[in-house]
Structure formats: structure tokens, C-alpha cells
Amino acid sequence: MNDISTINLFLEAGLVVKSVMVILLLISLFSWIIIFERYFLYRKIKSLNIIFERKFWSGEDLNTLFKEVNNNDLVLSGSSSVFRNAFKEFNRLKSDEDVNELDLEGINRSMRVAIARDEEDMNKHLPFLANAGSVSPYIGLLGTVWGIMTSFQGLSDATQATINAVAPGISEALIATAMGLFAAIPAVVAYNRFTSQSDSISQSTAIFAEELASIFYRQVLKNKK
């Protein structure tokens, strides 16, 4: 009785089906690397946001807080990045006696830039997951179709047409479909999950930015009196 393990099916497969399997294996490998990397990144950003906003709303002096984050060696994201950019602009405005709404818009602009930069960083590599999720099943289907076609071509040369003659070829072809789904499903789930988390973090940061802009606006009006 022939051993129809996955390894044997791969070794006995034709060149095209083997190539399809290798491509799908690489796609799956890269997808999982990205999934773990993005998972820990989002987890880190959420944790840093919670810690920073807790310190911010605790009543700590903003100048002291700014000194803690105003370090070019620190890679900031989320609320802390928005605060650093906004406070730099705010310090510049404080030295100007004639501050108008256009100047205050500079603070909002600096925060929007920080938020956009964070969104770009959070969404990095996500297009690969989207492409892996949409393309992998079709790559697997290509291997399946090619393997079945090869099996039936070989059947025409066989002396006796039995299921045993085509079973190995069809099995190796179906393995390609299974590998396509194995690569696609985690990629799609992760892409949807990470996209949702990215939107949630961006929305939370945008709310913090609006509250921060309100604080600076009141402070500027207070300094003008």
C-alpha cells in the first residue's frame, strides 16, 4: 500500500504543483511573520497610550511631561507622539504676543501629521496580508487544476483505468488547494483584525488630539489676557 503522506505527495508531485506548494508555503511563512510582528506592535502602542494618557490626565505638569518625551532617540507613537509635536508648536506660539486662530491651526496641523504618520506605520505590511488572503486560494486552485489535468493525461496511457491510477495525482492536486486555504485564512483574519485595531487606535488618538487642542487653546487665550 502506497504511503500518501503530505511529504510523499509533495515529492511525487510534478514541477508545476511543487512550485505552487513552495510559493504557498513562503506566502504562509511571511504572513505569520507579519502577523506576530504586527500583533506585538499594536499591543505595544496600546500599552504606551494607556501609560502616557494616565500620566497626562493625572495632573502632571505639561512642561515636565514634555521633557520626558522630547528625546529624538525615543520612538513615540499614538498620544505621546501627538503631544510632543503639539507642545513644540505651542512653545513657539507662547513667545508670540499676537496669536490668532491661524496660528492655533498650526498646532492642529502638527497633530494631524503625527496621527497620519502613526497610521502609515501601523498599516505597514497589511497590504501583503490582504493580497495573501485574496490570491492564495487561486494559486492553490491553479496547482489543483494542473495536477488533475496531469493525472487524467496519465490515465490515457494506463492499461487499466482505475481509481488507483488517478488517486495519487488527484491527492497531490488537492493538497495544493488545502495549502492555498491554509495560507489565505489566517491572512484574511489577521488583516481584518489589525485594520480594526488600527482604526480604533487612530480614533482614540484623534479624540486625545482634540482634547489637547482645546487645552492649548484655553491656555493661549489665558496668556493673552
CA dist., res. 180 & res. 182, Å (int): 5
Q: Which pLDDT score, from 0 to 100, does residue 134 have? A: 93
Of 10-24, 48-62, 153-167, 174-188, the least confident: 153-167
Helix axis angle, 79-94 to 15-57, nearest 10°? 50
**pLDDT above 60 for 205:** yes
1: pLDDT confidence band, cut at 50, 70 and 90? very low
* N-terminal to C-terminal alpha carbon distance within the chain: 93
**Which amino acid is residue 144, in one-letter code?**
T
Dig out the grid coordinates for 223 from the structure: 496668556
State the pTM of this model: 0.80
33: pLDDT confidence band, cut at 50, 70 and 90? very high
